[in-house]
Chain A
Amino acid sequence: EAQVTQNPRYLITVTGKKLTVTCSQNMNHEYMSWYRQDPGLGLRQIYYSMNVEVTDKGDVPEGYKVSRKEKRNFPLILESPSPNQTSLYFCASSLWGRGRGTEAFFGQGTRLTVV
């Protein structure tokens, strides 16, 4: 079954404690990205990757890091989480990063709370 898998689904952590949210896809997609969703602000892109070792900032990259060492994995790293990073996070992947064929598959989300 084609899917994007995020882990963990829920996480409560303390300010400053480094954490990683994993994302893995089994569709051999080149393009992967991370979004955060906040009430009243909708979904906003954090980072994206168009292929292995190619990453770039989205609209709200501050406080986040990513890596793309393998095609299937695209972890989101919070080096020093702060309460304003409390949010619902989604990983997405698609076959091709350009307009045509941007049928993106999303993970089930990670609800992060930073206290």
Chain B
Amino acid sequence: DAKTTQPTSMDCAEGRAANLPCNHSTISGNEYVYWYRQIHSQGPQYIIHGLKNNETNEMASLIITEDRKSSTLILPHATLRDTAVYYCIVISSGNTGKLIFGQGTTLQVKP
């Protein structure tokens, strides 16, 4: 599975959009991009995933570049409850289901 690179930390003002980048330059054609978050030692929570097209759900939007080497998770109106560690994970379709969590990005939403 491809390795991902994320900034260690980011700040965002409450009510503004939070844009969290992820670099996955070695991604291959059958690999999906998944995003999870972990709020203060709770169990990780699935957010969204995509292959090549942009995706949106009730929590967030996922923008994947055309070459698929990077992506951005967008939380459109960040709240204090969105303060968490966000993990970008690349998983192949042949994967056994193991999620490889890197260090993630600690997002601090400030009032």
Contact with A along B63-87 (1 / 0, CB 8 A): 0000000000000000000000000
Interface size for B (C-beta < 8 A) is 25
Given contacts A99-B30, A99-B31, A99-B91, contact A106 B97 (CB under 8 A): no
The verdict on A88 contacting chain B, using a C-beta distance below 8 Å, is yes
Interface size for A (C-beta < 8 A) is 30
B41 touches A94 (CB 8 A): no
The verdict on A76 contacting chain B, using a C-beta distance below 8 Å, is no
B97 touches A33 (CB 8 A): yes
In the assembled complex, the Cα of A42 lies from the Cα of B41 at a distance in Å of: 11
Contact among A33, A42, A99, A108 with B43 in the assembled complex (CB-CB below 8 Å): A108
Q: Which residues of B contact A33 (CB under 8 A)?
A: 97-98
The 7 A-B pairs of least Cβ separation, nearest first, read A106-B43, A97-B97, A99-B93, A43-B101, A99-B91, A103-B46, A99-B95
